[in-house]
Amino acid sequence: MQTLEGNSLRIAVQNDGRLTGSSLELLKGIGLEFEDHERRLFSRCRNFDLELLFIRDDDIPEYVQDGVADLGIVGRNVVRESGAEVEEVEELGFAYCTLSLAVPRESDVTAPRQLGGARIVSTHPRSLRRWMEREDLDAQVIEIRGAAEIAPALDVADAICDLVSTGTTLRMNDLRPVGDLWESQAILVANPASLQSRDRYDLIERLVVRLRGVLTARRMKYITLNAPEEALPRIQDILPGMKSPTVVPLAEEGMVALHAAVTEDVFWDVMERIKEAGGSEILVLPVEKVML
Ligand code: PRT
Ligand code: ZN
């Protein structure tokens, strides 16, 4: 595969897997227009100087390290396991999971330090070995590509080290978690040389500002309500994420309308507490994009 030439920025995205849908949704969410049906190897953006490269997620760290792509969207676990030299630019807030150790439910093991001498099957052997070294744990690591969860039942392992998100796979295989190595989520990574190159950096910066805008907006809500003026301090206590609200007097004496962006989710119980504090006609709206 050719390495970077010309000025188009290139971003590597998983071609078919857990990350694909959310990665493409995020890129479309920042206004990029491109074809993703069939997920051919390449797709050009119609309205940004960017090319998408669809590949297996395991290849993304190396491709970004080697400059085949400037950027990549990939699980932090895959980057750590690869050992590739790439820069983490942004956490993307999806594909959350934990790299965990688990043992059969009936096992006596209750903590990772009791796994000395054990056989541990792992989908992330390099990460596990590094962690064991730090924890001064000596165990036998057996590499496996997938389906680590069936190894204890086949008596080829005493424990497993694998990604866990809901915990259903562990439960269905009569396994019990005994410790976490670290947490992971999808991240945006960059080729270090691309971050040093003037024109590439400018394009990356524009993309990252937009990404942050969409990611911040996902955490925000826009709230409007009416309240007696003297209730405002109490309402601000209920919504500590509210920064400099707009307060407008209403025709009714002593009543104001309040508009503000809040950084936390406004659940029903928060709205009920605002109402108790004197708020009325409370509207909570989603925020689509933010540029600070
Ligand atoms: O390379 P290939 O495309 O063949 O497959 P892949 O397994 O490498 O990729 P994919 O699409 O399955 O996962 C891509 C990324 O999603 C991973 O690298 C993680 O960053 C992230 N992710 C988030 C997960 C999970 N959650 C997850 N639960 N990846 C895998 N799992 C597996 C886990 O290995 C176990 O088998 O799901 C099972 C456990 O899930 P729960 O929900 O039952 O706990
Ligand atoms: Zn993979």
Phi first, then psi: give them for residue 217, nearest 5 degrees.
-60, -35
Please give the helix or strand (H or E) that residue 39 lies within, else none: none
Verify whether ligand 1 is closer than 6 Å to residue 164 (CB atom).
Answer: yes
Q: Quick check: 72 and 79 in contact, CB under 8 A?
A: no
Please give the helix or strand (H or E) that residue 28 lies within, else none: helix 20-29
Verify whether ligand 1 is closer than 6 Å to residue 219 (CB atom).
Answer: no
d(CA 165, CA 91): 17
Ligand 1 atom nearest to CA at 17: 11
Verify whether ligand 1 is closer than 6 Å to residue 196 (CB atom).
Answer: no
User: 198 — alpha (psi -120 to 50), left (phi > 0) or beta?
Assistant: alpha
**Nearest to 97, CA basis, from 14, 168, 171, 145:** 168
Ligand 1 atom nearest to CA at 164: 44
Query: For the residues of 58-80, what is the DSSP string, one character each?
Result: GGHHHHHHTTS-SEEEEEHHHHH
Cα(94) to ligand 1 centroid in Å equals: 12
Instruction: Among 15, 122, 163, 166, name the best residue to mutate to test ligand 1's pocket (greatest count of ligand atoms within 8 A of Cβ).
Output: 163
Phi first, then psi: give them for residue 17, nearest 5 degrees.
175, -165
In whole angstroms, what separates CA 278 from the centre of its chain?
A: 38
Q: What is the token pair recorded at 57?
A: 């997620």
Verify whether ligand 1 is closer than 6 Å to residue 78 (CB atom).
Answer: yes
Residue with CA nearest ligand 1 atom 33: 163
Verify whether ligand 1 is closer than 6 Å to residue 60 (CB atom).
Answer: no
Task: Looking at the CA of 74, name the nearest ligand.
Answer: 1
Residue with CA nearest ligand 1 atom 21: 95
pLDDT of residue 6: 59
pLDDT tens for the chain, 292 residues: list them: 555 555 789 999 999 999 999 999 999 999 999 988 666 788 999 999 999 999 999 999 999 999 999 999 999 999 999 999 999 999 999 999 999 999 999 999 999 999 999 999 999 999 999 999 999 999 999 999 989 999 999 999 999 999 999 999 999 999 999 999 999 999 999 999 999 998 899 999 999 999 999 998 888 888 999 999 999 999 988 887 667 789 999 999 999 999 988 877 777 888 899 999 999 999 999 888 887 7
